[in-house]
Amino acid sequence: MSLFQSATREVAINLTSRPGARLVTLLMVALAFIVFDTFLIISWNLQGIMDREENLVGMEVFLQRDISQAQGLVIGDNISSMPDVKSVYYVSPQEAEALFRAELPGRADLLDVMGNDFRLPASLQIVFEPETMNQGRITELSRQIGSIAGVDDAVYGEDYLPGLLKTVTTIRRLVILLGIVLVSSISMVVFYTVRLSVVRRSLTVDIMRTVGAPWWFIRIPFVIEGVFMGVIGSAGGLAISAILSKVLAGAVTHRFMPLSWMTLVILLGAITGTVGALAGSYEKER
């Protein structure tokens, strides 16, 4: 039997022995990951809400009444070539009136009072890149756009925008901070759980040392066991979280996390499991 075959046999023995203890370890790892998964689901949904809010960060540019649609579109093209401008949409007087009537049905009579010749001004709806947007930049853009010939007025949410941007930034920072804290604590839980399960088998490590097993022969089975427990535990946690998410979907509308995040969760499980197993075996092997 080659050394590799012997090592493979050790891995098989390790994975099949003490099923009870292994199950407890897996449950601990899975439970830790359920907490983490819940946080990720909340973050993912919060991210969606914040993205939607940020996409509202924009400006309404009213054009002078004597500007034709062709001229308005040219102004729109000029604005869309400015840095930090995500999109520009031309709203004709007819469309503006239709929007007014749709959004403020109780005040539609105001338009009728103004007479048949009255037309709402054409405007440009501008959406900015949310990543680069801040109060200073938006004020600067407002000044630039306001000075373009044919532009009557540039309006943005001066009252609510600073608060919105600040809130979104604060929430993002809090989520990142909480994420770091959770990743650290989950890693510690998995690390110590796996390490403990390895240390429990210190006799095996002791015997392996005294009979002259090479260090990798002693460690590899534990490392594979660590990867196994990390991956199965985190995948199990994901599965339970997915079931819980489905059960709660009727009561709370939300989305489950994307596939890329799930892959990262399993990767985190594998890494922490491996590190825990390595630390446990190293501790006993010295």
Is the CB of residue 50 less than 8 Å from the CB of residue 174?
no
Work out which of 1, 113, 251, 259 binds another protein, going by CB under 8 A: 1
Based on the shown chain and the rule CB under 8 A, indicate whether residue 246 belongs to the binding site for another protein.
no
Work out which of 8, 18, 46, 254 binds another protein, going by CB under 8 A: 18
Distance between CA atoms of residues 178 and 211, nearest Å: 47
Q: Any idea which residue has 């044919």 for tokens?
A: 150
Rg for the chain, CA atoms, rounded? 30
Question: CB of 268: closest distance to another protein in angstroms?
Answer: 31
Based on the shown chain and the rule CB under 8 A, indicate whether residue 210 belongs to the binding site for another protein.
yes
Q: Between 40 and 213, whose beta carbon lies closer to another protein?
A: 213
Q: Between 90 and 282, whose beta carbon lies closer to another protein?
A: 282
Q: Between 26 and 213, whose beta carbon lies closer to another protein?
A: 213
Distance between CA atoms of residues 26 and 279, nearest Å: 18
Is the CB of residue 22 less than 8 Å from the CB of residue 197?
yes
Residue 56 to residues 67, 125, 126, 211: CA-CA distances in angstroms? 26, 10, 10, 69
Based on the shown chain and the rule CB under 8 A, indicate whether residue 217 belongs to the binding site for another protein.
yes
Work out which of 102, 113, 203, 251 binds another protein, going by CB under 8 A: 203
Q: Between 100 and 282, whose beta carbon lies closer to another protein?
A: 282
Stretch that binds another protein, among 46-54, 104-112, 142-150, 209-217 (CB under 8 A): 209-217
Tokens of 277: 């197993």
Tokens of 1: 């039997």
Question: CB of 280: closest distance to another protein in angstroms?
Answer: 17
3-state secondary structure of 1: coil
Work out which of 215, 243, 263, 283 binds another protein, going by CB under 8 A: 215
3-state secondary structure of 61: strand
Number of residues that bind another protein (CB under 8 A): 22
Distance between CA atoms of residues 50 and 47, nearest Å: 5
Work out which of 204, 234, 272, 281 binds another protein, going by CB under 8 A: 204
Question: CB of 25: closest distance to another protein in angstroms?
Answer: 17
Q: Between 77 and 283, whose beta carbon lies closer to another protein?
A: 283
Q: Which helix (H) or strand (E) holds 47?
A: helix 19-55
Tokens of 136: 């200073």
Residues engaged in binding another protein (CB under 8 A): 1-4, 6, 9, 13, 17-18, 203-204, 206-215, 217
